[in-house]
Amino acid sequence: MATINLGNIRFNWCGEYASSTQYTKDDVVGFGGSSWIARKNVKGVNPTKNEFWDLMIAGAEKPYVIGEQKLMAFRASELPFGWYFRNGDNYLLDSPQGRALNSLSANYKEDYKITIKVINGQQYINVPTAFAPDGRGYFERAVDGTNRQVGSVECDAIRDIWGHFDTGVVDFHSNYARGAFLGTSAIYPENGAFQPKKEWHAWGYDFRASNVVPTGPENTVLNEGKTPAIYLGV
């Protein structure tokens, strides 16, 4: 008796799209709030109107895309639905958050150090972090993708501070100090472990960056606290 291969006779719902999953023809996934059906076998190609995917059911358009990052005016415990604190926390790979993170491109995961690891025999994946190892938050800065790539971290630096003073026997030493140097005078030697032999004036120069720029206990700019967050949509 002859047999007929009907292939898939019903659609196969596969849940939220994941870039690491191999899909076959007629598999259906959720992506961007809509449902998409595979036109052919596909892996690693995001569902959009292309040769691999067709729009099956259009959903309400989401205002953000998965992986979008921003600073938000909410405490971490009060972030809106779909947003998560960008603090490096791990989520089960098979959880809604884990699947959303794993659906991001390989470049995105490499740039923001999103990795899969095994903890107590289960697979986890982390959200990116906006904090340095010592707990300080990073300042975000635009990059061109050539000289610096997104996700790259530039170490601490302050602008160069210049100072100069003249040497030799001069009067009014404060007039010969410029930049970050300040001319001062003192009776030498009247402090420390030195025993004064005679009284005579010596001139010194103090270096103070605050003569040129505002200073503080660490390098800071005028700033306002916000919560760093990433959008996962679940």
Q: pLDDT tens digits for 86-108? A: 999 999 999 999 999 999 999 99
Instruction: Reply yes or no on whether the pLDDT at 171 is more than 90.
Output: no
| Domain layout of the chain by residue ranges | 12-57, 68-154+226-231
174 or 50, higher pLDDT: 50
Q: What is the DSSP letter of 87?
A: B
Side by side, the strands of the sheet bearing 69-72 are 69-72, 227-231, 83-85
HSE-up (13 A, CA, CB side) for residue 39: 11
Return the amino acid letter for 58.
Answer: A
Q: What percent of the chain has pLDDT over 90?
A: 35
Tens of pLDDT, residues 125-137: 999 999 988 887 7
- CATH architecture assignment, domain 12-57: Ribbon (2.10)
Record the pTM. 0.54
Q: For the beta carbon of residue 73, count every other beta carbon within 10 angstroms.
A: 9
pLDDT, position 5: 54
Confidence of residue 138 (pLDDT cuts 50, 70, 90): confident
Which of the pair, 40 or 135, is modelled with greater confidence?
A: 40
Nearest to 91, CA basis, from 81, 78, 100, 103: 100
Distance CA 171, CA 102 (A): 71
Residue 96 is classified by DSSP as H
Contact yes or no for 227/74 (Cβ under 8 A):
yes
Q: What is the mean pLDDT of residues 185-199?
A: 46
- Segment 12-17 shows an average pLDDT of 88
SS3 119: strand
- 228 pLDDT above the threshold of 50: yes
